[in-house]
Structure formats: C-alpha cells, structure tokens
Amino acid sequence: MTPDWLFQVMWYGAGVGGTGALWYLLSQRKYHAAVWTGFATVVVVLLAVALYIQKDFLLSQRYYYAEVWEASLLFLSSCLLLPYIFETISYEASSKHLPPSLTQH
C-alpha cells in the first residue's frame, strides 16, 4: 500500500512543476523544456491519482473482509448460544405450568 507521505511529495512536485517551473520556463522562452515539464507534471498527477484509487480500493476490500469476518463470528457465536437460549426458554415455559409450591424457593 502506498504511504501518505508519497502522495504529499507527488502533489508537491506536481504543484511546483505545473505552476512555478512551467511559467518560469515559458517566461524565459524555453518552450521545449516547458513542454517536457508540463508532460512530466501530467504524468505525476495521473500516477498519484492511480495510486490513490488503488489505495482506496485496497482499503475498501480490507474493510469488507473485516465486516464479513465480524458477521461470521457473530453468526457462529449465535449458533453456539442457540441451544442455551432454547433451553432457558423451555425451562421458563415449563416452570410456569408447575404448581406454586414447586416454583417457590
């Protein structure tokens, strides 16, 4: 996964290349260098966007699998507790039909 500092460096480089360097080269009438600087800036921006989309996709997959894991654990724990729950319910239901002398402690 791409670290956040790399995105910051890429955006900083694209900002410097796309604004300061490009306008400086155009003002000095170095058009060939200005075109290459603009091209390099576009490549860095597209690379940053692609890496950001990839990172977002990987994070969404991680959260998806975490949610699936939590849901499966919840399902398994509920399956393990169901016999106990039904036993408790049946015990309470059967104790209501007993004579009062047997239900008092």
Residue ranges per domain, the chain? 4-103
Spatial CB neighbours of 40, under 8 Å, sequence gap ≥ 6: 17
The more confident residue out of 25 and 71 is 25
Work out the average pLDDT over 65-89: 65
Q: Could you give the CA distance from residue 31 to residue 23 in angstroms, rounded to a whole number?
A: 10
Task: State yes or no: pLDDT of 98 exceeds 60.
Answer: no
Q: Could you give the CA distance from residue 41 to residue 81 in angstroms, rounded to a whole number?
A: 60
- 3-21 pLDDT, tens digit per residue, is 888 888 888 888 888 888 8
Q: Is the dihedral of CA 75, 81, 87, 91 positive or negative?
A: negative
Phi, psi dihedral angles at 38 (to 5 degrees): -65, -40
